Amino acid sequence: MINKKPDQAAQEHDPQDQDYCVETLDASVTPRGMLELLSQDEVSRLREAGRGELDDLFRRCALAVLNCGEETDDAAEVFERYPDFEIDIVQRTRGIRLEVRNAPVCAFVDGRMLNGVKDHLFAVLRDIVFISSKLYGSDQPDTQSASGIRNLVFHILRNAGLLHLRMTPRLVVCWGGHSIGAREYDYSKEVGYQLGLRGMDICTGCGPGAMKGPMKGAAVGHAKQRMRNGRYVGVTEPGIIAAESPNPIVNHLVVLPDIEKRLEAFLRMGHGIVVFPGGAGTLEEILFLLGVLSDERNDAIEMPLIFTGPAGSGAYFRRIDEFLVKTLGEDIRKHYRIIENDPIGVARQITKSIADVARNRRKTGDAYYYNWLLRIPLEMKRPFAVNHRSMAAVELRSDLPAAQLAINLRRVFSGIVAGNVKDEGIRMVREHGPFKIRGDRRIMQAIDKLLSGFIDDQRMKLPGKVYHPCYTIVTD
């Protein structure tokens, strides 16, 4: 049954358009895959977990997955548009069923939920509710030590079916912005196509823009090579998925508990990383990786990193390079390579480098499917709670070691991402004003110059939306 209700947000923006309605559907759906076969005790505990403090989180993430027909970067906008959306976990003799009411109609075709959307919906259930229901033992996971967090990330990825014992290294992590123009999107798609022709799989943050382009291109490359087992892995977390719904090409979705574990998952699973132009979120990812690679304990680890974009993107990456050198020093350049307007060159280079990764893993005895030997400092693993006090307290001093400064810079950009797209961060800024970022003049000038460039290039919000900075810069 199709339900129709007035779109209040649309009416507020255009009072004359009183006929505009949001269409919704009700549905009853059953899982495919690992959640198909559950005992009655497991289902009971699963429902109990879904009723507790996770209930609202599950509802919000489920709505984001179902809202697959719209590109938005404002979680609050989605929640306001579908205030009557409900989802319940129902116990039945043969397992579980999800009862969905007032869901976005874009998730359906001829009244039936799209299979890809259904898979994403149950992936959310699996990762947010199932893991938290303690079905794998009564002990709380260790989230206080570096090894404990590393094991927890492994457990979540394995439970999602993403780790394959005998699969050779071929997973390319692609980072880049959700707010990019057609030229940059087409370029990311062409790079993905060249990677797909060479048998590479793609892993991204699962959203639109430079997260969707490489997957779309790789899917065509895989089809031309008659590869039927291509993997398009989407790695997200609750605060991000609500603002960036998984794109329809993702065939393996995993939701990590927080941004830090999401970033660790990229590094543990991936065999090489390609970065396309992006905004604050892309720089957060770059800083996390460079902070890890700057740790001398990782000197023997192979982790190829390429920055690339279409003709004319050189200015963008020169700004990134200038920022990284000014803040972290000249030595940081040894960890990345910039290739402009050369999709074939990028694909050839990353394929060659991943062959080196395979040799390195064999030599060191590390697993192909999970980079156990990579050392990630505990301070980078611990969740950074974004608020006005924590943002103002981040130390940005020139006398800090490069590895520590990278950690602190990553936190700053994580806060900016929260203020830009995450519902909680947007509310904080709306109620208490912009976050204050404080530090040495040289560092603050570098941050200001970089962020101003992002704003000028419209990389902080989707095209057509006015960006109001969620931050102010204060110089000590």
The CATH code of domain 2-133 reads 3.30.1850.10
The DSSP H or E segment spanning 452 is helix 441-456
The Cα 79–Cα 84 span in angstroms is 9
Q: How far apart are CA 199 and CA 211, in angstroms?
A: 19
State pLDDT tens for residues 13-25: 333 333 334 688 9
Q: What is the reported pLDDT for 45? A: 67
- pLDDT of 46 above 70: no
Which residue carries 């031309």 as its tokens?
224
What is the distance between the alpha carbons of residues 37 and 34, in angstroms, rounded to a whole number? 7
The rounded percent of the chain whose pLDDT value lies above 90 is: 67
Q: What is the pLDDT of residue 68?
A: 82
Q: How far apart are CA 205 and CA 241, in angstroms?
A: 9
Which pLDDT tens digit goes with each residue over 326-349?
999 999 999 999 999 999 999 999
From the number of C-beta atoms within 10 Å of its C-beta (0-12, 13-18, 19+), residue 144 rates as exposed
pLDDT score for 133: 61
Residues 6+ apart with CB under 8 A from 129: 46, 49, 50, 54, 58, 89
Integer-rounded Cα Rg, in Å, for the chain is 22
Instruction: Give the pLDDT band of residue 200 (cuts 50, 70, 90).
Output: very high
Q: Please give the pLDDT value at position 11.
A: 38
Mean pLDDT of the chain: 88
Cα distance between residue 336 and residue 333, in whole Å: 6
DSSP 138-169: SSPP--SSHHHHHHHHHHHHHHTT---TTPPS
pLDDT confidence of residue 14? 38
Instruction: Point out the least confidently predicted range of 62-71, 301-310, 341-350.
Output: 62-71
Residue 70 sits at φ, ψ, to 5 deg, of: -120, 145
Give the whole-angstrom CA distance, residue 59 versus residue 55. 6
**Tokens describing residue 394:** 């981040």
At 414-431, the pLDDT tens digits run: 999 999 888 889 999 999
CATH architecture of structural domain 141-476: 3-Layer(aba) Sandwich (3.40)
- 369-428 tens-digit pLDDT: 999 999 999 999 999 999 999 999 999 999 999 889 999 999 999 999 999 888 889 999
**Domain-wise residue ranges, the chain:** 2-133, 141-476
pLDDT at 244 over 70: yes
At 32, the pLDDT band (50, 70, 90 cuts) reads confident
